[in-house]
Amino acid sequence: MSSSPGRAGTPPTLADVAELAGVSRQTVSNAVNNPDLLRADTLERVQQAIDELGYLPNRAARNLRTRASHLIGMRIKPAQEGTANATMDRFVHSLVDTSREAGYHVLLFSGELDDPLAGYDDLLRSTAVDAFVISDTFLGNPQAAWLETKRAPFVAFGRPWDNPVARHPWVDVDGAAGCELATNHLLDRGHERIAWIGWRKDSFIGEDRRAGWARAMRTRGLSTTGLASRVEDTVASGREAATVLLDEARPSGFVCASDTLAMGVLHALSERGLLPGRDIAVVGFDDSQVAQVVPPGLTSVRQPLEDVAIETVKALEGLLAHPPTASAGVLLKPSLVVRGSSGPE
């Protein structure tokens, strides 16, 4: 490790490399950004100087000049306690990995709970990020409309439910297909009275997932009457809903809009001495850690978040290209992870 020319702590600059290699600063810049412009021997010499000094372009300077930060902003909501919901954390992991391969880093920020726009504006106006990934589209997404008026590049994880004509790129997972998968799985195992526990009606995602259950039932000519419940996404609500359904509808299986609700069902079963998988089948949604480790394993719909991240970054790259290319929406298919809670074997 050779000592840099300045004081330790001040990384070498383009000028340092240029001096050491005996070329101009511009040539060093070209060596870094357009190597094919240089003659082979010059490139070699510059590269050697770069290696010797451990040179890497200063981000701030490059950002200032190129008007790009190579940063993707993503707002995260406070961690939800008491639920099984960690989809966004898993997505962030995938996004960080995928972004890195595309030369981007992920900048996380948080905002006031009540203001869905907080945080975006500052980052945008200070040109701190090149684009956003928005994700909390649970009940529609005001961010999308707002960002569009600001002409800010962004990709949404989640369909523009409340605005079908929206033009921005989005990536989503087909929740209806997932629940259809889950329901068919139980139907294939001989269940006929399959109950649904989902979210309140104002949730677009919840209604979508519910539709998958209903479709599967209808397709087999089975009635859904009295078999559905719509509640808050909490364990307690899931437990109560399950208790009521068990008494009033006598289902042999449950398909739930979330692992959180499914855990509520497990609570209800446990209270009655019923065993999931043996006495009553249960399927959740999200393949959370909870689903993975709870005995006897919770069968659950798994979103392909790695693929969501890949498609998201792909769309992002299009948006940030010159000229920008807006991609269409992408809808991915989830899979079903079968575990003990949906029956033996």
Question: Which entry of its own copies, DNA, none binds 29, CB below 5 to 8 A by partner kind?
Answer: DNA
Instruction: Quote the least distance from Cβ 291 to its own copies, whole Å.
Output: 10
Q: What would the DSSP string read from start to end of 276-318?
A: BTTTBEEEEES--HHHHHSTT--EEEE--HHHHHHHHHHHHHH
Question: Which entry of DNA, its own copies, none binds 14, CB below 5 to 8 A by partner kind?
Answer: DNA
Question: Which entry of its own copies, DNA, none binds 26, CB below 5 to 8 A by partner kind?
Answer: DNA
Here's the x/- map for DNA, 280-319, by CB under 7 A: it reads as ----------------------------------------
What CA–CA distances, in Å, run from 260 to 9, 134, 257, 330?
49, 23, 8, 27
Q: Which is nearer to its own copies, 7 or 39 (CB)?
A: 7
**Nearest Cα to Cα of residue 303 among 154, 177, 201:** 177
How many residues of this chain bind DNA (CB under 7 A)? Answer: 29
d(CA 316, CA 327): 9
Q: Which is nearer to its own copies, 96 or 338 (CB)?
A: 96
Q: Which distant-in-sequence residues (6+ apart) come within 8 Å of 330 by Cβ?
A: 169, 170, 171, 172, 311, 315
Which residues from 24-63 bind DNA, rule CB under 7 A?
Answer: 24-27, 29-30, 32-33, 37-39, 41-43, 55, 57-58, 61-62
Burial class of residue 247, CB neighbours in 10 A (0-12, 13-18, 19+): exposed
255 contacts 213 by C-beta, under 8 angstroms:
yes
Instruction: Quote the least distance from Cβ 133 to DNA, whole Å.
Output: 25
What is the CB-side half-sphere exposure of residue 217 using CA atoms within 13 A?
A: 22
Which residue matches tokens 């290209």? Answer: 321
Q: Which is nearer to DNA, 29 or 300 (CB)?
A: 29
Which residue matches tokens 């629940």? Answer: 179
Question: Which entry of its own copies, DNA, none binds 288, CB below 5 to 8 A by partner kind?
Answer: its own copies
229 contacts 257 by C-beta, under 8 angstroms:
no
Q: Which is nearer to DNA, 124 or 187 (CB)?
A: 124
Residues that bind its own copies (CB under 8 A): 8-9, 11, 54-61, 63-64, 67, 69, 71, 76, 78-79, 81-86, 89-90, 92-93, 96-97, 100, 105-110, 122, 125-128, 151, 235, 260, 263, 266-267, 270-271, 288-290, 292-296
Q: Which is nearer to DNA, 2 or 33 (CB)?
A: 33
d(CA 262, CA 240): 11
d(CA 123, CA 342): 46
d(CA 278, CA 316): 46
Q: Which is nearer to DNA, 226 or 324 (CB)?
A: 324
Instruction: Quote the least distance from Cβ 79 to its own copies, whole Å.
Output: 4
Strand partners, 75: 109
Question: According to the binding rule CB under 7 A, does residue 65 interact with DNA?
Answer: yes
Question: According to the binding rule CB under 7 A, does residue 14 interact with DNA?
Answer: yes
Residue ranges binding DNA (CB under 7 A):
10, 13-15, 22-27, 29-30, 32-33, 37-39, 41-43, 55, 57-58, 61-62, 64-67
